[in-house]
Structure 1
Amino acid sequence: MTSPLPFLVVQTALYNRLKNDATLSSLATGVYDFVPETALYPYIHIGEAIDTPDNSHDRYGGQTVATLHVWDQYKGFKRVLQIGSRVQALLDHQPLTITGLTHIVTRYEFGQPLTDPEPPGDIRHLVLRYRIVTEQTP
Structure 2
Amino acid sequence: MIGSPSLALQKAIVDALSRGVPEVGGRVFDVVPPSAAFPYVTIGEGQDLADTADCYDGTESFLDIHVWSRAVGFPEAKRIAGKVRHALHDADLPLDEHVLLLLHFRDQRPLRDPDGVTSHVAMTFRALTQPA
| TM-score range relative to shorter protein | over 0.9
Residue in 2 that maps onto 1:130: 125
1:27-82 Cα shifts (integer Å, max 9, x gaps)? 11411111000001100001111111101211210011110011111111111111
1:78-134 Cα shifts (integer Å, max 9, x gaps)? 11111011111111112111111111110111101011123xx01100001101110
Q: Is the 8 A contact 1:62 1:135 kept in 2?
A: yes
- Percent sequence identity over matched residues? 27
Tell me, which stretches of 5 or more residues in structure 2 are unaligned? none
Show the 5 A alignment for 1:23-38. Answer: 24-25=21-22, 27-29=23-25, 30-38=27-35
1:80 counterpart (73, 77, 80): 77
TM-score (norm 2): 0.93
Give, in angstroms, the shift of residue 6 of structure 1.
1.4
Q: Is it true that 1:91 corresponds to 2:73 in the alignment?
A: no
Give, in angstroms, the shift of residue 7 of structure 1.
2.1
Q: Distance in 2 between matches of 1:87 and 1:124?
A: 16
Q: Distance in 2 between matches of 1:46 and 1:64?
A: 13
- Which letter does structure 2 place at the counterpart of 1:18? L
Residue in 2 that maps onto 1:50: 47
RMSD: 1.4
Residue in 2 that maps onto 1:10: 9
- Which letter does structure 1 place at the counterpart of 2:88? L
Aligned residues: 131
TM-score (norm 1): 0.89
Tell me, which stretches of 5 or more residues in structure 1 are unaligned? none
Q: Distance in 1 between matches of 2:3 and 2:17?
A: 24
SS at match of 2:56: coil
